[in-house]
A and B are shown apart, each in its own frame.
Chain A
Amino acid sequence: MVETSLGSARHLPAAPAETPPRWRPALLFGVLAGAVAAAALVRVWDAGGVQTWRTVMVAIVVQGVPFLVLGTVVSAAIGAFVPERVFTRVLPRNPALAVPVAGVAGAVLPGCECASVPVAGSLMRRGVAPAAALAFLLSAPAVNPVVLVATAIAFPGMPEMVLGRLVASLLTAVVMGWLWVAFGRPEWLRLPKGPAGHGEGARNPLEEFRRGLQHDFLQAGGFLVVGAAAAATFNVLVPPSVLRTFTDQPWLGVPVLAFLAVILAVCSEADAFVAASLSGFSPTARLAFMVVGPMVDLKLVALQSGAFGRAFAVRFSSATFVVAVLASIVIGGVLL
Chain B
Amino acid sequence: MKATVRGLAGLAPSLLVALVGAALLRITVGSDVFLQYVKEGLRLPLIASGLVLVGLGIAGVVGRLTEKRREPVMRFGRDAEGNAVWLRPTGHDTDSAGDHGHGHDHDHGPRVAWLLTVPAALLLCLTPPPLGSFSANRDGTDAVVEQAGYTQLAAQPAPATPGAPASVSLPTPMSLTEFIGRSHDPQKSLEGRPVRLTGFVTAGAQPGEWYLNRLVVSCCAADARRLRVLVHATGPTPATDSWVDLTGVWHPTPGTSTTAAPRIDVAERHAVPQPRAPYRDVPPSDG
Contact = CB atoms under 8 A, between A and B. Distances in A.
Interface stretch (B112-120, B167-175, B249-257, B261-269): B112-120
A6 B38 contact: no
A222 B115 contact: yes
Given A52-B134, A306-B110, A309-B101, A63 B219 contact: yes
A193 B116 contact: no
Interface in A42-66: 48-49, 51-52, 54-63, 65-66
Nearest to A52: B134
Given A58-B37, A222-B112, A277-B218, A48 B134 contact: yes
B88 A63 contact: no
Interface residues of B, number: 76
A65 B20 contact: yes
A214 B60 contact: yes
A1 B96 contact: yes
Interface in A201-247: 207, 210-211, 213-215, 217-219, 221-223, 225-226, 228, 231-232, 235, 239-244
A274 interface: yes
Interface stretch (B49-57, B157-165, B204-212, B229-237): B49-57
Contacts of A226: 112, 115
A73 interface: yes
Given A197-B98, A274-B218, A1 B88 contact: yes
A240 B223 contact: no
B225 A55 contact: no
In this complex, the member of B79, B94, B130, B225 whose beta carbon has the largest number of chain A beta carbons within 10 angstroms is B94
A187 to B, nearest CB: 13
Contacts of B144: 276-277, 279
A36 interface: no
A127 interface: no
A48 B115 contact: no
B27 interface: yes
B109 interface: yes
A1 B89 contact: yes
B277 interface: no
B71 to A, nearest CB: 12
Nearest to B142: A277
B48 A63 contact: no
Nearest to B95: A195
B52 A69 contact: yes
B202 to A, nearest CB: 11
Given A215-B110, A218-B17, A57 B138 contact: no
Interface string B106-146: 00011111111011001100001111111100111101100
A243 B140 contact: yes
A294 to B, nearest CB: 13
A32 interface: no
Given A59-B222, A223-B112, A4 B86 contact: yes
B32 interface: no
A178 to B, nearest CB: 27
A57 to B, nearest CB: 7
Interface stretch (A23-31, A78-86, A261-269): A261-269
Contacts of B83: 5
Interface string B214-225: 000011111101
A244 B140 CA distance: 7
A52 B96 contact: no
A128 B123 CA distance: 39
A13 B17 CA distance: 32
B286 interface: no
A58 B128 contact: yes
Contacts of A56: 131, 221-222
27 contacts: A1-B96, A2-B87, A2-B90, A4-B86, A6-B85, A48-B133, A60-B220, A60-B222, A62-B24, A62-B27, A62-B38, A66-B46, A67-B45, A69-B53, A207-B63, A210-B59, A211-B94, A217-B53, A218-B110, A219-B109, A221-B113, A222-B103, A240-B141, A264-B222, A264-B223, A266-B219, A270-B223
Interface of B: 2, 13-14, 16-17, 20, 24, 27, 34, 36-38, 42, 45-46, 48-49, 52-53, 56, 59-60, 63, 74, 79, 83-90, 93-99, 101-103, 109-116, 118-119, 122-123, 128-135, 138-141, 143-144, 218-223, 225
Closest CB pairs A-B (n = 5) = A270-B219, A273-B218, A48-B134, A222-B112, A218-B113
Given A62-B24, A62-B37, A63-B38, 16 more contacts: A3-B88, A4-B87, A55-B129, A62-B42, A65-B20, A69-B48, A70-B49, A154-B218, A197-B98, A197-B99, A198-B97, A198-B98, A215-B13, A226-B112, A235-B222, A270-B220
